Structure 1
């Protein structure tokens, strides 16, 4: 079939338009594997949670009408009554032990008393403080002897894996032959650590701290 110049130009123009449309379609429809873009949300791998993720057995909840006289608050909390008792005892014992030391005692012995009650991270922090040369020398010069005690004041906060107690540490301190009484309130965070409860962090109460470990 013989085409005039005008007809050939029209056919050529039509082919260009068709090819351009096909190119646009392929560019939009085909997945871009080399662009570095994120995959669709449904294709992204699920992040693996790290650390504690909550109580092993969630509170069962209460579906029946609540009786004020027989209300069991532990059914709504992430810790059982026994766990709360264990955590409170630990916070009190740790604070008392923290405040008990003497100038002629090896710092390793002091840390050895605290170690079973704390996490590995907190133990490292306590050890760095107790073995500071300046502190050791000052206690030796003053012949410091301290006997600690503690009172539980209240619960500051409760999270899925931890509870923060406010505890007042009390000390009877002998320095240079003189006895004094000292006290300071601390925020003591007790958290789940594997299959047990350990002191996770410890700071003056007015400093504040984050309690949850998960």
Structure 2
């Protein structure tokens, strides 16, 4: 259909009005960058253990005793497993090593690199107990600990629980003796490292996964 000059001008003007209305609508409907009382919140990382970088690779071929690699089915690599086991053993030995004339803070500082912040706070409270300090001083207790790894109790996506036996050479009231206790030691991923997450006598049981 042929339009006259006047008709073409009217159509053009109408299009301009329609586009202006659409622009206003989009501007009003768009979400504001700010929320009430300040800028829009941004997501923050949640503290705590992180999962494995990728799922276990699995095994697609035929399984044979000579070539079976169990670590292909586990959420921890062989290196992580060995690191966690070493940590559980070292921590248990350090936990059982103390002396009556040592500042409880020094004892806690030795354990600090091996444990989570929450467990460290719990251990520090226990060592700073006036009753425990007084008894050790009265009996002049000196204990030197060593530890043996007994077995793996549980494996979860983010944690490993080891049963570890603490053996102590204890001097108490001038007399020497030996003491032994088995513990369940949970080692978990803590950011980019492995740390002892929980620690309790083995017969009390222990929660497994931490993530």
Category of TM-score, reference length = shorter chain: 0.7 to 0.9
Change (3 A) 1:106 1:182: same
Return the offset for 1:52.
Answer: 3.8
Q: Which residue of 1 aligns with 2:191?
A: 194
Cα distance per residue 1:1-39 (max 9 Å; x no partner): xxxxxxxxxxxxxxxxxxxxxxxxxxxxxxxxxxxxxxx
The alignment status of 1:98 with 2:100, answered yes or no, reads no
Distance in structure 1 (CA, Å) of the matches to 2:46 and 2:104: 37
Distance in structure 1 (CA, Å) of the matches to 2:103 and 2:46: 41
Change (3 A) 1:135 1:49: closer
Q: Is the 8 A contact 2:94 2:111 kept in 1?
A: yes
The number of residue pairs the alignment matches comes to 167
| Residue aligned with 1:152, SS | strand
What is the root-mean-square deviation of aligned Cα atoms in Å? 1.4
Within-5 A mapping of 1:143-182: 143-182=140-179
The alignment status of 1:82 with 2:74, answered yes or no, reads no
Structure 2 alignment gaps of length 5 or more: 1-44
Return the offset for 1:54.
Answer: 2.5
Distance in structure 2 (CA, Å) of the matches to 1:92 and 1:49: 29
Return the offset for 1:53.
Answer: 5.4
Distance in structure 1 (CA, Å) of the matches to 2:50 and 2:117: 19
Structure 1 alignment gaps of length 5 or more: 1-47
The alignment status of 1:68 with 2:65, answered yes or no, reads yes
Return the offset for 1:51.
Answer: 4.2
Distance in structure 2 (CA, Å) of the matches to 1:68 and 1:198: 33
Within-5 A mapping of 1:14-163: 51-52=48-49, 54-163=51-160
Structure with higher Rg: it is 1
Instruction: Give the TM-score, by structure 2 length.
Output: 0.77
